[in-house]
Structure 1
Amino acid sequence: MALSEGRRALLVLGAGIALLAGAPAALAGGAESFANICAACHGAGGAGIDGLAPPLRNPAHWQALGERAPDYIANVLAAGLSGTIEANGQVYRGLVMPAQTQLPAAEAAEIASWVLGTLNGLPQTVTADAVEAARKSPLTHAKLRALRKGE
């Protein structure tokens, strides 16, 4: 049975609306996953917890990383991060963030994209493919700390 032009147009319109609705849903998923998984250490809304974990809501830090920001966060999720870092003038010694390999790559990418976009206003996003690539060949913690410092 052939579809009329009007019915075909409604189906196309409905598909377009569904696609558009998926983008905010992905960001909402990133926010929810962050609240359930990351906020225990990084604080509500990524504000950080003094002495425990640095703030992830830190636009100056992410802007300084520039185009490297998606790769950096994908690798931190893939490999974790340990050692000493500085954020907003506070030194975090003995930092041990575990690799988040228990998360599906798509969920890790949603979280990372939410941190970059919603928390820090960056236009970049992180894809599940970028998380998978980082998991296959993660940067060392020393390289991640150097990247963080702009080296």
Structure 2
Amino acid sequence: MRLVNTLMAAALACGSSFACAQAVQYAGGKATFDGKCVVCHQAGGKGMDGLAPPLVEYPGKYAGSDDGRKHLGHTLLSGMFGPIKVKDKNYNFKMPAFASLSDAEIADVLNYVVFDLNAQHGNAKPFDAAEIKALRAAPVDASAVHQRREGVVKGLGL
């Protein structure tokens, strides 16, 4: 009964706040996201109209395919620039490269985005440092990341 009362008190204290409702599995990834990505993609990955797309749906879908996983990894490693469309909204910004982060840090932030910010991620498996290391060994520049995005989006039917 004490546990039920504690849980009820916590729920009441949080109200309808997304921050309280969000269970974080990848705290290290959240810390990196909050320090590097939140300025453009905003808290909770909600995005910023016209500038940075939301990260609360597509990354979860990308992570279930090999091409999508590569795209996510290369986007963090190399950055991406140019116009994109997400759910009939246009965005045009230059995402910087985060290649200075370690392979483990990139894997952690991708896991935070895919599993903590996305309610649906299908059969996606967590990223690990070895997967990021392999992507780093086959570099792609930011313009190629942008060009490849269209194929990933079409391949996933988004």
**Alpha-carbon distance in structure 2 between the residues aligned to 1:117 and 1:103:** 20
Structure 2 matches for 1:1-151, cutoff 5 A?
27-58=26-57, 62-63=60-61, 66-68=64-66, 69-93=68-92, 95-120=93-118, 121-122=120-121, 123-139=124-140, 140-141=144-145, 142-150=147-155
Give the structure with the higher percent helix.
Answer: 1
CA distance in 1, matches of 2:116, 2:24: 13
Partner AA of 1:117 in structure 2: F
The alpha carbon displacement at 1:105 in A equals 1.1
Rg comparison, structure with higher value: 1
Instruction: Return the alpha-carbon distance in structure 2 between the equivalents of residues 62 and 26 of structure 1.
Output: 15
Instruction: Kindly indicate whether the alpha-carbon contact (under 8 Å) linking 2:24 and 2:112 is maintained by their aligned counterparts in 1.
Output: no
Aligned residues: 126
**Offset of residue 101 of structure 1:** 0.8
Stretches of structure 2 lacking an aligned partner (at least 5 in a row): 1-22
After TM superposition, what 4+ stretches of structure 1 lie above 3 angstroms from structure 2? none
In the TM superposition, residue 149 of structure 1 has moved relative to its aligned partner by 3.4
Measure, in 2, the Cα distance between the counterparts of 1:35 and 1:133: 25
Q: TM-score, normalization: structure 1?
A: 0.72
Q: Match for 1:47: what amino acid?
A: K
Alpha carbon RMSD of aligned pairs, Å?
A: 2.4
**TM-aligned CA deviation for residue 131 of structure 1:** 1.4
In the alignment, the residues of structure 2 paired with residue 149 and residue 83 of structure 1 have an alpha-carbon distance, to the nearest angstrom, of 17
Distance 1:29 1:64 in 2: 21
State the TM-score, normalized to the length of structure 2: 0.69
Q: Report the secondary structure of 2:83's partner residue.
A: strand
Shift of 1:64: 6.0
> Any gaps of 5 or more consecutive residues in structure 1?
1-23
